[in-house]
Amino acid sequence: MNRITALLLLLPLFASSTLAAQSVIGKWKTIDDETGEEKSIVEIYSKNDKVYGRVVKLFRKPGEDPDPVCDDCDSDDPRFKKKIIGMDIILDMQASDDEYSGGTILDPANGKVYKCKLWVEDGELQVRGYWGPFFRTQTWKKVS
């Protein structure tokens, strides 16, 4: 077997392992981009060709409610007054090349919903929320 044939046979293996390493699916530790504090664990999962994110754990300070509700969510939002643990905060994300977009993310701390984009860079999940032309990006760490 010549080198070119061997390379062509190995190329699909390399490509699939690269794509698998870049998956957004899994559990991620959210890090506040302003304070650097760990805030929660969000599980990103796929359903009906879309991606969603559910809060599975909150890191709370002593004296804070360990399982709060989203008091600040809009009263028209079905998540209003619901428990944050177990809540889907990322909705309807669709794959587009090497990122996900077209959906929304809720910040339960202030009840605001933002347009969202997700992608993996250097093994970390980049989560960008948009409000008009403005945006904030958080870097979430993979939970093993």
Contact 126, 116 (CB under 8 A): no
CB within 8 A of 2, min separation 6: which ones?
A: none
Q: How confident is the model at residue 28 (pLDDT cuts 50, 70, 90)?
A: very high
Question: In this structure, how many other beta carbons lie within 10 angstroms of the beta carbon of residue 116?
Answer: 24
pLDDT in tens, 30-50: 998 888 899 999 999 999 999
Q: Is the pLDDT of residue 18 over 70?
A: no
Taking the model in full, what pTM does it have?
0.82
All structural domains of the chain, each given as residue ranges with its CATH number in brackets, are 23-142 (2.40.128.520)
The residues facing 142 across adjacent strands are 28
Predicted confidence at residue 1, as pLDDT, reads: 53
Range from 17-21, 70-74, 137-141 carrying the lowest mean pLDDT: 17-21
In the block, tokens 């701390």 appear at 109
